[in-house]
Amino acid sequence: MNSETTAVNAVTTASAAGTWTLGDLPVNRVGFGAMRLTGSAAFHLGTPRGREGAIAVLRRAIELGVNHIDTAAFYFSSLRSANELINSALGGPYPDGLVLVAKVGPHREYSGEWGTAARPDQLRGQVEENLRQLGRDHLDVVNLRRMRQDSIAEHFGALAELREAGLVRHLGISGVEPRHLAEARAIAPVVCVQNRFALGVPEPAADEVPRLCGELGIAFVPFYAIAGDAGPEGATTAHDDALLAVARAHDATPAQIRLAWTLHQGPHVLAIPGTGNPDHLAENIAAGALRLTAEEMARLDAAHRGEASGQSGTNGFI
């Protein structure tokens, strides 16, 4: 990127992408995912980042207009806890208007090993652990992460009870199919769906959920939007020629075009890119200001479906 683009990235704020409402909570469409604060890759896989650097990135995110942070008690490495970093950086008190979204459902031992999915009667404990770590008396939004259950009714019902008790303000679901969304909505209001969704990783069922959320007025919040086929390991380096051409046209990085394409899926689509790098943070937020043309979107859509002829990178799009 040239110096002019770098300067633009440095001053662009999260409001450039527009806003959406999670229930009654307005958020800028570009938020922040806290998972990568604890290491160079997901969870305990990488070298833990320096504590002060992680805190600085969180504070810079707020300065750049981020008011939606996605986190979970199971986001931790051998030395770092995402929730504790958020509390240390932003708590006491938290900024007005900041929306903290937590996930429950997976069970992870303190050693880092994954256990079986939490039972419905264990979800209260998971919610309370997030509250304790974040220093809050309620959670703005809690997503139930489906752990391969055929039905989520019992688990989602348990969270609905916590909503009625005032521990949770709004509910969402994650890792679901359309039938699970219908199942949850029959129990309690759903304000967001968080699924894996990325340019160049087409799955018919996955692609259906964003469209359905748009019809219902529910936020769709994709994860791994930048990582693509690399998933929890980090940002993908496999970029289709169409993606690289669009990036050159905007003097942007491939990661920025991936985020811009994601946001162009509809006004209900949010982004929660995570990073521990302040330069990448600024670039991610600046992606919200990119405006892709109809022709560029058509080229990228074709690449997403695997219809583009040229590919670069080790594996191209998967």
DSSP for 32-82, please give it.
EE-GGGGSSSSTTSSPPPPHHHHHHHHHHHHHTT--EEEEETT-B-SS-BH
SS3 120: helix
Give domain status of residue 59, yes or no. Answer: yes
Give domain status of residue 38, yes or no. Answer: yes
Give domain status of residue 231, yes or no. Answer: yes
Instruction: Kindly give, in sequence order, each residue whose CB lies less than 8 Å from that of residue 142, ignoring residues fewer than 6 positions away.
Output: 101, 102, 103, 104, 127, 130, 159, 162, 168, 170, 171, 172
Residue 168 and residue 127 in contact, taking contact as beta carbons nearer than 8 Å: yes
Q: Which of the residues are catalytic?
A: 75
What tokens appear for 283 in the block? 């670039």
Give domain status of residue 315, yes or no. Answer: no
| Domain assignment of residue 182, given as a range | 3-304
DSSP for 164-191, please give it.
HTTSEEEEEEES--HHHHHHHHTTS---
Give the total number of structural domains in the chain: 1
Each residue's pLDDT expressed in tens, for the chain with a length of 318 residues? 544 344 444 579 999 999 999 999 999 999 999 998 987 444 545 555 689 999 999 999 999 999 999 999 999 988 889 999 999 999 989 999 999 999 999 988 877 788 789 999 999 999 999 999 999 999 999 999 999 899 999 999 999 999 999 999 999 999 999 999 999 999 999 999 999 999 988 776 678 999 999 999 999 999 989 976 555 555 666 788 999 999 999 999 999 999 999 999 999 999 999 999 999 999 999 999 999 999 999 999 999 988 743 433 322 221
Write the CATH number for 27: 3.20.20.100
Give domain status of residue 282, yes or no. Answer: yes
Distance of CA 39 to the CA centre of its chain: 16
